[in-house]
Structures are given as C-alpha cells and as structure tokens.
Amino acid sequence: MKIIKIEVENFRLLKKFSMDLEEDLSLVIGKNNTGKTSILSILDKFLNEKSKFSYDDFNIDFKNELEALIKSVDIPEEFTPKGIKLKLFIEYNEKDDLSNVSRVLMDLDPNNNKIVLGFEYTITYGFVA
C-alpha cells in the first residue's frame, strides 16, 4: 500500500491543500513558514493517539470565522460542523495485507484498488441554557 495523495483543510497554514505523491520519492521544498512541517504535523495529530489538537492548529481564516460566529448577535438556524480535515488517498495491490483497512473497504470490485481515508476534528455549535 502507498499513499498517493494528501488533502488538508484548515490546518495551520494549509487552508485548502492538496499534494500528489510520486511513485518513488516526493520532496517538499519551500521557504520558511510555508507549511512544510504542517504536513507532517497533521499526519502525527490524526494518526498518533498521544498528539492533541489546539486552537493554534486552526488556520487563521478559520479562527477569524469562528471568532465572528462567537461575537455575532445572530444565532444561526443551522450550523454545519466545521474543523480540520485530512484525506489520505491510498492505492494497493493484490500483494498488500489489507487487514488494517478491511473495515473501510466499501467496494468489492476487484478492479478498484484505491481507498480514501478521511479524518476530521470538528467543532459544533451548541446552546447553553
């Protein structure tokens, strides 16, 4: 199995980020403070049970949106949960051990050899009486 694509939303500098990974080697190169470390950090936060999210992990635009909702006098009739999202696009072949992902395999088509794993850390809106 191999990860072929990563998508991230609302995590630190990665507001809406997508990266296709190459067959053998993928390099992430960029200037300081452009989100390179954030790619590894979000994988650690979702895949490592000991890592926790904090307010600083939210994208700045997302923080501003939350602040506006909190300060708003108007109460939204409907609030869609919002938060940090990660999608891992995984490709596998007949030689791979699928025991760790067998619970999420939805397609029994033998020609389909891709899985998308989605992770979310969301905030919901509730009323305090």
Q: What is the CATH number of the domain that holds 6?
A: 3.40.50
pTM of the model: 0.81
Output the 3-class SS for 2-28. EEEEEEEEEECCEEEEEEECCCCCCCC
Nearest to 69 by CA among 83, 88, 56: 83
Identify whether 67 is part of a domain. yes
Identify whether 128 is part of a domain. no
Total domain count for the chain?
Answer: 1
Identify whether 61 is part of a domain. yes
From CA 57, how far away is CA 66, in angstroms rounded? 13
DSSP state for residue 85 in the 8-state scheme: E
Identify whether 60 is part of a domain. yes
Identify whether 113 is part of a domain. yes
Q: Which helix (H) or strand (E) holds 83?
A: strand 82-91
Beta carbons within 10 angstroms of residue 108's beta carbon: 6
Identify whether 14 is part of a domain. yes
Identify whether 129 is part of a domain. no
The fraction of the chain above a pLDDT of 90, given in percent, is 33
Domain holding 62, by residue range, is: 2-123
Identify whether 78 is part of a domain. yes
Residues 48-99 have pLDDT tens digits of 878 889 889 999 998 998 888 778 877 777 777 788 999 999 888 878 887 7
Q: How far is CA 9 from CA 91, 100, 120, in A?
A: 22, 25, 9
